[in-house]
């Protein structure tokens, strides 16, 4: 043994020859890795650099931060942002929990329609609820009296708008957490004669606790980094997200914008880290032997939750309805006859119908390019053998956008691509940069969806292919891709809808020839054309909804035919 240990064969581990497949996969990964580096990492690095430079580009250390702290108008925003985010998050999570409980743990009727309504806010830009709230509770609002003299312009309006906009995000997470509970735990608790309230505290809540915390974090970050709602309805109430916008667009103070951006990055990164840790624990929660919980009818409880969910759904529908009505009314609130006048966008500033067409082009390009790149990258990450360091770097870069608010990413894009020394400077101000920035912005969720889908596929497909001397890309095209088609379409739709509704990253990057619909909403509202802004927001909502419906029909009808192999 000792002799063998001394022989040269044992000191140097054997290395497998690199096959053509390995080579191609590594080349592909390297290209995608460089792309992620350029379009995710370097812009953020540029932002970090900008924060420690003066206007001339010299290194000034923490001077910008000191100036920030010495400006009460800016530091107040930290408190304001935290207050808004905390309040909106608690309300949104609470509402989502009640709604999710009703959906998963009661036998209330109408679950399908309630679920449908609850998801509508996902299809609208965050500007839409804010505009709608102005019509409801603003100076000329129809329900102004309901606020008992308080002004909607400020914290009240912001919180209401954010709760509307973040509610479906929290709902999805909490519904998932509540849906995957083990029915046996409830049977055991009942067999031990625990009272319902005790079961709720000892079984339901601990089981859903990670989901609730996760929802809380997601909503908190969404609110603190959202700038659509406070921009429209915030009035004089400053928050960090609007400060960035003002510093950069209003005062052209890029350094201060970068400082505020970094401060905004902080809660997002912290939430991201906590969420990652929690998710790692959550996976161990449910054993393979668990039996799904099936609710039993309790007329009183069912009716109570139906009432709660109906109220929440009504609130959503009212906000949507008001925006729709306002967009169709000739002159709110004086002339309420219906017309499409407000949809004649070419008469207003903000880019007109061209911005809507731009949005369609941008969203479709981002959806197609994004899903192709993201899915391929996830596939190569999963299947490449060896190449550990590069794979780890890409893994990190793929998740990084999850921790970077859109505003911060957009700002980084200005700093990085607006630099004439950058060889990619030529994409600045084009449609291309909008597409790339949007893909980068929404990369992580799509990446995680792809990875989940790929992990569900038999890991030996490529091995079997290789043993039959079929190159990996053939197996990818003939097997992996068709099998993953539903997940791939999910990603495409996700990217499209988000690209249609987002304002945060692209608001810094559009040019006069590449205005976008969501940005037009912002600009028309800013210019006082509130009704056309509502009309454009409705156009975005209608488009996103139409795409979703088309997707639903496609999966229902088309996939069933193309993918007959899924049926027994």
Partner 1 sequence: MNEQPVDLSRARIGSENKPYLVIRNVTKRFGSFTALDDVSLDIYRGEFVSFLGPSGCGKTTLLRAISGLDVQTSGVIEQDGRDISRLPVGNRDFGIVFQSYALFPNLTVRDNVAYGLASEGVPREEITKRVTQLLSLVGLPDQARKYPIQLSGGQQQRVALARALALSPGLLLLDEPLSALDARVRARLRGEIRDLQGRLGITTIMVTHDQEEALTMSDRIVVMNTGRIEQVGPPDEIYGRPATPFVADFVGRMNFLEGRTLDDKRIDVRGATLSVEEPIGFGRGTRVTVCLRPEDIVVNGLEDHQPNRLDMQIGVMEFVGSHFSTVLHAAGTNLNVTADLSMNDVRSLGLVAGRSIPVQLPPARLKVFVHPPQG
Nearest Cα to Cα of residue 130 among 88, 172, 73: 88
CB of 222 to partner 1, least distance (A): 37
Residue from 73, 284, 389, 564 touching partner 1 (CB under 8 A): that is: 564
CB of 563 to partner 1, least distance (A): 7
Q: Could you say which residues in the range 114-153 bind partner 1, by CB under 8 A?
A: none
Judged by CB under 8 A, does residue 561 bind partner 1? no
Judged by CB under 8 A, does residue 364 bind partner 1? no
CB of 448 to partner 1, least distance (A): 23
Judged by CB under 8 A, does residue 464 bind partner 1? yes
* Cα separation, 329 vs 292, whole angstroms: 49
Residue from 292, 482, 486, 528 touching partner 1 (CB under 8 A): that is: 482
CB of 392 to partner 1, least distance (A): 17
Residue from 285, 461, 551, 559 touching partner 1 (CB under 8 A): that is: 461
E strand residue ranges, 235-391: 329-331, 335-338
Residue from 44, 483, 503, 522 touching partner 1 (CB under 8 A): that is: 483
Nearest residue (CB) to partner 1, 16 versus 337: 16
Nearest residue (CB) to partner 1, 15 versus 280: 15
Judged by CB under 8 A, does residue 563 bind partner 1? yes
Are residues 29 and 380 in contact, defined by beta-carbon separation less than 8 angstroms?
A: yes
Judged by CB under 8 A, does residue 469 bind partner 1? yes
- Per DSSP, the residues of 29-49 read HHHHHHHHIIIIIHHHHHHHH
- List, in order, residues 6 or more apart from 21 with CB less than 8 Å away: 466, 471, 472
CB of 42 to partner 1, least distance (A): 35
Stretch that binds partner 1, among 191-199, 204-212, 235-243, 461-469 (CB under 8 A): 461-469
Residue from 2, 283, 337, 467 touching partner 1 (CB under 8 A): that is: 467
Residue from 330, 357, 455, 478 touching partner 1 (CB under 8 A): that is: 478
Compute φ and ψ for 59, nearest 5 degrees. Answer: -70, 125
Judged by CB under 8 A, does residue 382 bind partner 1? no
CB of 13 to partner 1, least distance (A): 5
CB of 382 to partner 1, least distance (A): 15
* Cα separation, 527 vs 521, whole angstroms: 10
Judged by CB under 8 A, does residue 565 bind partner 1? yes
Judged by CB under 8 A, does residue 567 bind partner 1? yes
Interface map 46-65 toward partner 1 (x if CB under 8 A) = --------------------
Nearest residue (CB) to partner 1, 193 versus 469: 469
CB of 241 to partner 1, least distance (A): 45
CB of 18 to partner 1, least distance (A): 7
Interface map 4-23 toward partner 1 (x if CB under 8 A) = x----xx--xxxxxxxxxx-
CB of 62 to partner 1, least distance (A): 43
- List, in order, residues 6 or more apart from 516 with CB less than 8 Å away: 351, 355, 358, 359, 362, 434, 506, 510
Please return the burial class of 82, using the count of CB atoms within 10 Å of its CB with bins 0-12, 13-18 and 19+: middle
* Cα separation, 519 vs 501, whole angstroms: 9
* Cα separation, 395 vs 403, whole angstroms: 14
Judged by CB under 8 A, does residue 76 bind partner 1? no
Judged by CB under 8 A, does residue 458 bind partner 1? yes
CB of 181 to partner 1, least distance (A): 29
CB of 243 to partner 1, least distance (A): 50
Number of residues this chain uses to bind partner 1 (CB under 8 A): 37
* Cα separation, 492 vs 554, whole angstroms: 13
For the chain, first and last CA: distance in Å? 56
Are residues 49 and 416 in contact, defined by beta-carbon separation less than 8 angstroms?
A: no
- List, in order, residues 6 or more apart from 59 with CB less than 8 Å away: 52, 53
Nearest Cα to Cα of residue 434 among 491, 345, 504, 349: 504
What's the CA dihedral at 183, 188, 194, 199 to 10 degrees? Answer: -30
Are residues 64 and 52 in contact, defined by beta-carbon separation less than 8 angstroms?
A: yes
CA angle at 222 for the pair 219 and 223, rounded to the nearest 5°:
85
Residue from 309, 465, 493, 547 touching partner 1 (CB under 8 A): that is: 465
* Cα separation, 100 vs 243, whole angstroms: 35
Judged by CB under 8 A, does residue 86 bind partner 1? no
The contact set with partner 1 (CB under 8 A) reads: 1, 4, 9-10, 13-22, 458, 460-461, 463-471, 474, 478-479, 482-483, 563-568
């Amino acid at each position: 043994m000792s002799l063998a240990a001394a022989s040269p064969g044992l000191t140097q581990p054997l290395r497998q020859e690199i096959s053509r497949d390995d080579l191609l996969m590594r080349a592909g990964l390297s290209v995608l890795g460089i792309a992620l580096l350029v379009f995710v990492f370097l812009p953020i690095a540029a932002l970090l650099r900008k924060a420690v430079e003066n206007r001339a580009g010299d290194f000034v250390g923490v001077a910008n931060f000191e100036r920030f702290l010495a400006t009460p108008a800016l530091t107040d925003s930290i408190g304001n942002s935290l207050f808004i985010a905390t309040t909106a998050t608690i309300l949104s999570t609470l509402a989502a929990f009640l709604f999710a409980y009703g959906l998963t743990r009661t036998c209330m009727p109408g679950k399908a329609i309630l679920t449908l309504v609850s998801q509508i806010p996902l299809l609208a830009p965050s500007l839409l609820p804010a505009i709608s709230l102005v019509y409801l509770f603003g100076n000329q609002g129809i329900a102004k009296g309901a606020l008992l003299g308080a002004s909607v312009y400020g914290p009240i309006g912001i919180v209401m708008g954010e709760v509307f906009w973040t509610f479906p995000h929290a709902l999805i997470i909490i519904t998932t957490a509540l849906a995957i509970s083990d029915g046996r735990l409830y049977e055991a608790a009942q067999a031990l004669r625990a009272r319902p309230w005790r079961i709720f505290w000892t079984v339901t809540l601990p089981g859903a606790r990670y989901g609730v915390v996760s929802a809380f974090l997601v909503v908190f970050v969404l609110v603190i980094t959202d700038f659509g709602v406070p921009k429209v309805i915030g009035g004089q109430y400053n928050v960090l997200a609007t400060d960035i916008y003002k510093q950069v667009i209003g005062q052209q103070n890029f350094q201060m914008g970068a400082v505020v951006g970094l401060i905004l990055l902080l809660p997002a990164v912290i939430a991201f880290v906590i969420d990652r840790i929690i998710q790692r624990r959550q996976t161990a929660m449910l054993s393979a032997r668990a039996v799904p919980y099936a609710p039993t009818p309790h007329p009183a409880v069912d009716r109570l939750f139906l009432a709660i969910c109906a109220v929440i759904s009504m609130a959503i529908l009212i906000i949507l309805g008001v925006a729709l009505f306002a967009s169709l009314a000739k002159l709110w609130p004086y002339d309420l006859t219906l017309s499409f006048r407000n949809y004649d966008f070419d008469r207003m500033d903000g880019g007109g119908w061209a911005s809507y067409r731009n949005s369609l082009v941008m969203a479709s390009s981002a959806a197609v390019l994004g899903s192709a790149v993201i899915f391929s990258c996830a596939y190569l990450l999963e299947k490449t053998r060896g190449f550990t360091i590069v794979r780890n770097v890409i893994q990190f870069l793929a998740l990084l956008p999850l921790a970077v608010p859109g505003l911060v990413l957009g700002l980084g894009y200005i700093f990085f691509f607006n630099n004439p020394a950058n060889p990619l400077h030529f994409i600045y101000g084009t449609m291309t940069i909008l597409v790339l920035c949007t893909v980068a912005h929404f990369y992580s969720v799509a990446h995680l969806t792809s990875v989940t889908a790929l992990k569900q596929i038999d890991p030996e497909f490529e091995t079997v292919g290789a043993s039959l001397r079929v190159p990996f890309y053939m197996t990818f095209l003939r097997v992996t891709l068709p099998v993953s088609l539903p997940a791939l379409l999910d990603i495409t739709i996700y990217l499209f809808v988000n690209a249609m509704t987002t304002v945060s990253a692209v608001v810094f990057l559009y040019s006069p020839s590449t205005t976008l619909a969501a940005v037009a909403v912002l600009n028309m509202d800013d210019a006082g054309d509130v009704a056309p802004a509502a009309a454009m927001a409705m156009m975005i909502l209608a488009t996103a909804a139409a795409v979703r419906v088309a997707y639903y029909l496609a999966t229902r009808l088309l996939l069933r035919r193309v993918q007959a192999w899924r049926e027994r």
